[in-house]
């Protein structure tokens, strides 16, 4: 098999069998002619034009292995229906969970506000008073808070115990109501009523036609007044104008976005100046762990006809 590996990630620990040919390619350029007979295409941080070139030119392709947790960019490239697509689900669980916890703590503890006070050489006595006031003190801690994770998959399985260790009660939202990984989950129909008691809503939603703009004015209004919102899933799932309006009106206490509808975020985006909003540049994952092992497992499955790991649509 000829296996194309991206030049954006070290994969020196990838073990291939005798007779296989692993070749590096540039994720920003069209696929060279001498690589167009590849059987396997591994994608990571590719440009849309590169993915489109791969979809158009790789006529012998059997498998696309994206190292991203969400396969949306690969699916949008237009690969043939007979080409299997496998995702990088699980490769980013630990890093995304860690970043999500950091963003949540930053919002709850209002580190954004304290950062601004430091920049202005200002001792924030108002913050200190609110943190110490018995009526408002619960806003400044995860202890006793209700945290809801929207999109309760493998990342949530890693993240939920972290919140529990901080003293929070964790619930989730999934395609069907019940119990997942030992946590109570509601389905989409039950989400609006559930949000009335939620202090922190974390979105891990993937980008799908059904999830586009899912966090809209109606769901914002359904949230407990003063709640905070963190999105580390996909930018397309958030109605950004509605989010900005809610922050300006104080309907949301604060929010953090690691993903946006348009990336990189344009300099003229109103998100830059929205109040009580923390932005990070799609940095929550960005460090696939165990990529070589996942690729090797799917190469072996391709050789033997066994089941592919993280097969999209399965």
The 3-state DSSP class for residue 240 equals helix
When computed from its CA atoms, the radius of gyration of the chain, rounded to whole angstroms, is 22
Angstrom distance (rounded) from CA 142 to CA 84: 42
11 is written with which tokens? 């994969």
Q: Measure the N-to-C terminal CA separation of the chain; round to a whole number of Å.
A: 24
234 is catalytic: yes
CB of 56 within 8 A of CB of 87? no
Q: How many CA atoms lie within 13 A of 244 on its CB side?
A: 11
What is the DSSP code (8-state) at residue 83?
A: S
How does strand 178-180 pair with strand 183-186?
antiparallel
Residue in 248, 282, 289, 297 annotated catalytic: 282
What is the DSSP code (8-state) at residue 90?
A: T
287 is catalytic: no
Q: In what order do the strands lie in the sheet with 183-186?
A: 178-180, 183-186, 169-173, 146-150, 200-203, 228-231, 254-257, 277-279
CB of 115 within 8 A of CB of 137? no
Residue in 234, 287, 289, 303 annotated catalytic: 234
67 is written with which tokens? 């190292």
Burial of 142: CB neighbours in 10 Å, binned 0-12, 13-18, 19+: buried
Angstrom distance (rounded) from CA 14 to CA 314: 25
Residues assigned a catalytic role: 234, 282
């Amino acid at each position: 098999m000829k296996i194309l590996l991206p030049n954006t990630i070290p994969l020196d620990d990838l073990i291939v069998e005798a007779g296989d040919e692993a070749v590096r390619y540039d994720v920003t350029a069209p696929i060279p002619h001498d690589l167009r007979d590849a059987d396997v295409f591994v994608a990571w941080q590719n440009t849309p034009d590169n993915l489109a070139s791969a979809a158009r030119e790789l006529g012998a392709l059997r498998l696309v292995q994206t190292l991203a947790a969400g396969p949306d960019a690969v699916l949008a490239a237009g690969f043939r229906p007979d080409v299997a697509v496998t995702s990088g689900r699980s490769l980013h669980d630990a890093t995304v969970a860690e970043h999500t916890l950091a963003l949540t703590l930053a919002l709850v503890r209002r580190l954004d506000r304290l950062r601004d006070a430091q920049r202005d050489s200002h001792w924030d006595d108002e913050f200190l008073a609110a943190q110490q006031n018995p009526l408002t003190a619960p806003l400044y801690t995860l202890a006793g808070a209700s945290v809801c994770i929207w999109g309760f998959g493998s990342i949530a399985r890693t993240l939920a115990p972290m919140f529990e260790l901080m003293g929070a009660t964790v619930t989730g939202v999934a395609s069907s109501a019940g119990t997942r990984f030992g946590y109570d989950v509601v389905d989409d129909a039950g989400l609006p009523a559930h949000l009335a008691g939620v202090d922190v809503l974390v979105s891990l939603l993937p980008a799908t036609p059904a999830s586009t703009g899912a966090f809209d004015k109606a769901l914002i209004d359904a949230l407990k007044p003063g709640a905070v919102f963190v999105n580390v899933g996909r930018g397309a799932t958030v109605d950004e104008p509605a989010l900005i309006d809610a922050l300006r009106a104080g309907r949301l206490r604060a929010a953090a976005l690691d993903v946006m509808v348009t990336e990189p975020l344009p300099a003229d985006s109103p998100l830059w100046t929205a109040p009580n909003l923390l932005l990070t540049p799609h940095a929550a994952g960005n460090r696939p762990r165990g990529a070589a092992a996942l690729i090797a497992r799917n190469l072996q499955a391709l050789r033997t006809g066994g089941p592919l790991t993280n097969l999209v649509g399965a």
